[in-house]
């Protein structure tokens, strides 16, 4: 019974924070467009005109609105998942399609929260485990926003990569306090960051930004701090590239992608990291067992 209550709470928390993440992504995009406009950089005037209604509002005035007709959403329009389904993915006022962007984030956060609890290594037993679990969920919300933003606009906002690094540092601190091995924990974190950020930094500078963006390097810092293990970092890197191959190669064969096409690597790196967090040691054990058989 207690586990059911926890799972229900995680579903609700995941849905609410997923809704928050979706709204935050749109506001970050609006701010990015305003910044690009002020700096006279390339931007979409049409997209800016659509999103500028989200700018220059105080916390008390900051209400969610329809991006098409500016209808101010009521509380019953903002119930995660339920409102989208009841409205059939359309604005209550103008009936313009909302799209599946927000719904996907909300459902993604629900799945992430529930699976994080069910697959948590060793279970949540001590207070340290509980704190690490909460930090991991916070990191998950940030990773969800980064995943969504990079998938849609091929950019990783600094505010989010910095926030992820801060949460990663907190995770390192809690782990050091739990184990009492501060030096070892810090060294592991440095190795992990070196793999997930250092390798991409080398690729970035060697290719002069043609193959990966510097945002991927900054993302690797936060992900590396979360991993705190060079073994898991390598597995995360391998899985990210494997996922990329499984997605890109079929699309190229179908001629839906070209060699020059822009691919968002942030979502792949995030996916690889999450998979490595939960299944990395099992993958490593399987590999070593298979290798020793020869």
Question: In sequence order, what DSSP letters do the residues of 69-127 get, joined into one string?
Answer: T-PBPPGGG-STTHHHHHTTTB-TTT--B--SHHHHHHHHHHHHHHHHHHT-TT-S-SH
Bridge partners (DSSP) listed for residue 97? 90
The pLDDT value recorded for residue 169 is: 97
Distance CA 7, CA 131 (A): 17
Q: DSSP letter at 41?
A: -
Q: Would you state the structure tokens that stand for residue 106, as one six-digit string? A: 């909300």
Residue 34 near residue 52 (C-beta atoms within 8 A): yes
What is the per-residue pLDDT across 115-144, written as a single tens digit (0 to 9) for each?
A: 999 999 888 999 999 999 999 999 999 999
CB-CB contact of 236 with 275 (8 Å): yes
What average pLDDT does this structure show over 275-290?
90
The percent of residues above 70 in pLDDT, for the chain, comes to 96
Maximum Cα interatomic distance, the chain, rounded to a whole number of Å:
66
pLDDT at site 258: 77
pLDDT of residue 62: 64
For helices 266-292 and 214-227, the axis angle rounded to 10 degrees is 50
Helices 199-207 and 214-227 meet at what angle, rounded to 10? 170
pLDDT digits 0-9 by tens, 16-38: 999 999 999 999 999 999 999 99
Q: State the average pLDDT over residues 257-280.
A: 89
| pLDDT of 210 over the 90 cut | no
Q: What is the pTM of this model?
A: 0.92
List the one residue out of 241, 138, 160 whose CA is nearest residue 195.
Answer: 241
Residue 54 to residue 67: CA distance in whole angstroms: 9
The DSSP bridge partners found for residue 65 are 72
Whether pLDDT at 60 is above 50:
no
Model confidence at 57, in pLDDT bands (50, 70, 90)? Answer: low
Decide: helix, strand or coil at residue 191. helix
| Cβ neighbours for 99, distance < 8 A, ≥ 6 positions apart | 89
For tokens 């305003």, what's the residue? Answer: 34
> DSSP states of 59-83 as a string?
TTT---B-TTT-PBPPGGG-STTHH
Our CA angle for 15, 108, 127, nearest 5°, is: 70
């Amino acid at each position: 019974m207690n586990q059911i209550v926890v799972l229900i709470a995680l579903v609700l928390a995941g849905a609410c924070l997923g809704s928050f993440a979706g709204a935050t992504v749109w506001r970050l995009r609006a701010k990015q467009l305003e910044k690009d406009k002020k700096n006279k950089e390339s931007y979409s005037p049409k997209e800016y005109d659509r999103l500028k209604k989200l700018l220059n509002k105080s916390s008390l005035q900051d209400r969610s609105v329809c991006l098409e007709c500016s209808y101010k959403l009521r509380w019953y329009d903002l119930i995660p998942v339920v409102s989208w389904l009841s409205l059939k993915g359309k604005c209550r006022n103008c009936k313009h399609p909302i799209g599946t962007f927000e719904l996907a984030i909300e459902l993604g956060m629900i799945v992430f929260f529930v699976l994080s609890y069910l697959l948590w290594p060793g279970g949540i037993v001590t207070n340290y485990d509980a704190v690490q679990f909460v930090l991991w969920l916070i990191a998950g919300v940030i990773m969800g926003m980064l995943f969504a933003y990079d998938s849609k606009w091929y950019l990783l906002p600094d505010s989010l990569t910095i926030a992820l690094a801060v949460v990663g540092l907190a995770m390192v601190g809690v782990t050091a306090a739990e184990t009492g091995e501060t030096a070892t924990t810090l060294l592991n974190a440095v190795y992990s960051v070196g793999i997930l950020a250092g390798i991409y930094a080398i690729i970035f500078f060697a290719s002069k930004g043609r193959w990966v963006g510097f945002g991927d390097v900054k993302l690797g810092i936060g992900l590396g701090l979360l991993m705190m293990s060079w073994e898991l970092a390598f597995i995360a890197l391998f899985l990210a590239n494997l996922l990329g191959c499984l997605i890109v190669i079929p699309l190229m064969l179908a001629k839906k992608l070209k060699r020059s096409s822009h691919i968002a690597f942030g979502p792949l790196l995030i996916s690889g990291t999450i998979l490595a967090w939960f299944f990395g040691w099992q993958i490593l054990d399987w590999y070593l067992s298979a290798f020793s058989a020869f």
